[in-house]
Amino acid sequence: MLHVALANIKTYARRYIAVVLAVAIGTAFLAATLAVNTSTRATLKNSLGDTYKNADLVAFQDWELVPEDDPDFEYTELAMEQVEDIRKLPEISTAYGTAYETGELYTADDGYGVLLQPVSAEQNLGGMELLEGRAPLNADEVILDDEHADRMKVSVGDTVGLTTSESTKDMKVVGIQRTSTDPQLSGYAMVGLPESVWTKIAGDSGSFQNIVIDAKDSLPAAQQALAAYFAEHQMRDVSVLTADEKVIKDVAMLTDGTDQLTVVLLVFALVALVVTGLVVVNTFNVVIAQRTRELALLRTLGAKRKQIRSSVLIEALVIGIVASAIGVALAVALMAGLIQLLHVMVPSLSYATLALDAKGLVIPVVVGIAMTVIAASLPARRAMKLAPLAALRPFDAASVKNRAGKLRIVIGILLALAGAGLLAWGAIDGSLPIAFLGGLLSFPGILMLASLFVPASVFGIGKLVAGRSVAGKLAALNAVRNPGRTTATATALLIGVTLVSMIMVGGQTAKSSLNTSLAGEFPVDLTLSLYERQVDDAKTQELARELASLDGIEETSTFVAGTAEIKGREDEAPVQLMGVDPQGFSKTVLDQSIVPADGQIIRFNTGTEEQPKKLTVGGRELDVKVSSAALYQDLVTKDTLESLKLADSENEYGGVLIKAAPDLSNADITALVEQIADVANVESYMIDGGVVQNAMFSQVIDVLLAIVSALLAVAVLIALIGVANTLSLSVLERTRENSLLRALGLKKKQLRAMLAQEAVLIGGVAALLGLVLGVVYGLLGAHATLSAVGEMSYEIPWLQLALVLVVSIVAALLASVTPGRRAAKLSPVQGLATE
């Protein structure tokens, strides 16, 4: 049957273009995900593992090997002694320790904090790459990293001062080494010293984080020798790993043990593949329906059932292989392009590398092929069941009734109900894991039931929209002519749209809920704290007036902060007080109930403890008023503050309270903060407050939303290819019917419009149903996640959701262009002539 299958693919190549595209995109997604993973590893190895990336082995004290039940266990400290011992092992060529002592380096102009590392010319120079000069050999010689040497304007031959825990000495710079790309180190100037000098500086405490080792000949022999050495010296908690393994361990430590990025991406890749699978099922269903007579003829001529099935499966296999290969190539090209782009845009990330491993290339191909073949096996089984007699029966192109399997309906209902129950429970209880599980169960359940409501919705809405137009009515009828096909096509799109709209609604609700809770907590929009300046209220007021003239600022007032002790609580930290001028303060504060009167103290964040009516603060008795708003200091009037005995005059500082204009966008607020920092000549972190925090949260949520939407857009794209695919196959199937309509007086334009309407109906209704589901899931999910945090404020991003609908409809329209063209191009006579 192989030649029949291949001949079929050749003959019907055009029918497979869309499915190849869909499978290729799905596979590309998976391959890109895995390439991101390997490239991240390689990039991290290039940076985190910069110190030992060229080495063979790394020995280090490993906390995981410390026995938990032995409190007297003696931790190993790897010191110069061990390094010396290891160097003597015959299996080892070089070994050096890495450790960083701190010191200060002085040039003629300035002083810098530096890290000191021992280096030895015979031992790989401590992993450093010399760019210029030579290794330090004498006690007064050092090497320095190039970036910092540049900044310090130091070059080979210069003399610098070096202060260490031991002494201050003049040192001669004899070499420049490449700056480490390890983000943990690259921020510091790195000074390499001869080992003997370093040992003196480090003294007894001089132990190494790692001993980096190169094998002489064979790696296993070196590993064995090291294991024997550490065992002999009772150093049970020392691990020896290859450099690669060590980097992976370092990365895992940084990323909390799991590779979360990859896991998240894999979830999206899975969604894309499920959608792709639906497109494949549909394609093969249609192709086989069109080939009923042909397949039945093969049966009549003596083909066995199995042969029919394998012929279909071989076609799927070939398509899977071709499409997966294209997909992987696409992913590699994409990743390479992205990394090139990164190199050009961000030169400092030049250590970012594209890394591909065999696994990352083979898995997507295997998954792509398996997915295609598995998805095609259902239609193949249907083809197998064809009776030889079907070849002789005229093909009935009218509606095909396909009933959903009873089992599927039952499982669907069970899943949907169980999931809905869990979802409701999770939402009410404010438990995300339960709600998540509910979503995980109910969504597949609803998808299994899709055949019950999707065709009905499509037809209902189609009839409603069509009105009196014949083409519209025919479009509505055609759209549900084969309910199974319509359901699968719509479901593919529905999955993507549901997920996109769910995160949109969830994100928006999260944003507005945080907004509400922050607005409730922060009584002041913006607080500028001049921590580093002595209190000079006159100057601060001048600054406040200057700030008030900025666009986006409505009012400003000044404050003076100080600390004072509370009588009877001298053992506690002194209370932090903010002295405000009540008149100005009442203009800038959002909550008038916290404007203090003379002799009054407004206390915040007092927890649950009962507050006395009066407190003696800084030697004066004050009336106490408690508020739940969020300010870091308790409020008094400036006059009151002046009358108090303050605890520590060094902790006094002034500042400005700012009321921002309403309706500022996040970008406006970020810009405003920068502007204020500029005018006040302070760092922007000294400006805090409700709107800043809100803008920050909003921005984080927006970025997350954008990323997730972009990832899900892949699934939506595949689904839309599916719509185009189904439509063009349907057009082929209905060639005669369309020709008849043309003969009877349907204009070309009407024919194209009819097909466009069909596509828009399927796409639009799928998107609409997806939006409804997404809104429900989004609101419940947001409630489950956030109701514990504070008061919820539900908000639905109508505009964004409308945009999703419009995009789906426009994309469906576009999807109908090619099939519509092809249908309209055919003359009625040609169409009627085709069998």
Partner 1 sequence: MTSETLPLTEYAVCARGLTKSYGHDSTRVEALRTVDVAFARSRFTAIMGPSGSGKSTLMHCLAGLDTADAGEIIIGGRDLMNLNDDELTMMRREQIGFVFQSFNLVPTINAKDNILLPLSLAGKSHDREWFNTVIDALGLRDRLSHKPHELSGGQQQRVAVARALLTRPEVVFGDEPTGNLDSRTGAEVLSLMRTSTREMGQTIIMVTHDPAAASYADTVLLMKDGSIVGQLDDPTVATVTEALASLAE
Nearest residue (CB) to partner 1, 707 versus 833: 833
CB of 775 to partner 1, least distance (A): 34
750 part of the interface to partner 1, by CB under 8 A:
yes
741 part of the interface to partner 1, by CB under 8 A:
yes
Q: For 538, what's the count of Cα atoms within 13 Å in the CB-facing half-sphere?
A: 0
CB of 739 to partner 1, least distance (A): 9
> Residue 149 and residue 177: Cα distance in Å, rounded?
9
3-state helix, strand, coil in the chain (%, to 5): 60, 15, 25
Nearest residue (CB) to partner 1, 601 versus 754: 754
Instruction: Read off the DSSP letter of residue 69.
Output: T
Which span sits near partner 1 by CB under 8 A: 143-151, 313-321, 640-648, 738-746?
738-746
Instruction: Read off the DSSP letter of residue 357.
Output: -
Nearest residue (CB) to partner 1, 606 versus 830: 830
Residue choice 747, 791, 798, 821 for contact with partner 1 (CB under 8 A): 747
Give whole-number Cα distances, 467 to 63, 460, 478, 756, 767, in Å: 74, 11, 16, 16, 22
Which span sits near partner 1 by CB under 8 A: 261-269, 343-351, 712-720, 823-831?
823-831
**Dihedral over Cα of 417, 422, 423, 424: its sign:** positive
Radius of gyration from C-alpha coordinates of the chain: 36
396 part of the interface to partner 1, by CB under 8 A:
yes
37 part of the interface to partner 1, by CB under 8 A:
no
832 part of the interface to partner 1, by CB under 8 A:
yes
401 part of the interface to partner 1, by CB under 8 A:
no
Of residues 92-111, those binding partner 1 (CB under 8 A) = none
737 part of the interface to partner 1, by CB under 8 A:
yes
Nearest residue (CB) to partner 1, 39 versus 735: 735
Which span sits near partner 1 by CB under 8 A: 125-133, 586-594, 705-713, 734-742?
734-742
Largest CA distance in the chain: 109
Nearest residue (CB) to partner 1, 593 versus 830: 830
748 part of the interface to partner 1, by CB under 8 A:
yes
Question: What is the distance between the terminal CA atoms of the chain, rounded to a whole angstrom?
Answer: 24
Instruction: Specify burial of residue 820 (Cβ count, 10 A radius: 0-12, 13-18, 19+).
Output: buried
CB of 284 to partner 1, least distance (A): 23
CB of 717 to partner 1, least distance (A): 30
Of residues 440-479, those binding partner 1 (CB under 8 A) = 468, 470-471, 473-474, 477-478
Residue choice 704, 743, 803, 806 for contact with partner 1 (CB under 8 A): 743
Give 207's contacts (C-beta < 8 A, 6+ positions apart). Answer: 77, 78, 79, 99
Nearest residue (CB) to partner 1, 88 versus 468: 468
Give 575's contacts (C-beta < 8 A, 6+ positions apart). Answer: 563, 564, 565, 566, 617, 634
Residue choice 325, 397, 548, 550 for contact with partner 1 (CB under 8 A): 397
Where are any strands of DSSP class E within 111-266? 111-119, 130-133, 141-145, 159-163, 168-177, 189-194, 207-208, 210-215, 238-242
Please, where are the H alpha helices in 291-405? 292-300, 305-345, 358-384
Give 269's contacts (C-beta < 8 A, 6+ positions apart). Answer: 26, 29, 30, 33
Which helix (H) or strand (E) covers residue 662, if one does? none
392 part of the interface to partner 1, by CB under 8 A:
no
CB of 463 to partner 1, least distance (A): 13
Nearest residue (CB) to partner 1, 746 versus 786: 746
The secondary structure of 574-637 as a DSSP string is PEEEEEE-HHHHHHH-S-GGGPPPTTEEEE---TTSPPPSEEEETTEEEEEEE--S--SSEEEE
746 part of the interface to partner 1, by CB under 8 A:
yes
Nearest residue (CB) to partner 1, 744 versus 799: 744
822 part of the interface to partner 1, by CB under 8 A:
no
Backbone φ, ψ for residue 601 (5° rounding):
-125, 130
Residue choice 340, 399, 611, 649 for contact with partner 1 (CB under 8 A): 399
Residue choice 236, 249, 736, 822 for contact with partner 1 (CB under 8 A): 736
Instruction: Look up residue 522 and give its two tokens.
Output: 């922060």
129 part of the interface to partner 1, by CB under 8 A:
no
- Site residues for partner 1 per CB under 8 A: 394, 396-399, 468, 470-471, 473-474, 477-478, 481, 736-737, 740-750, 827-829, 832
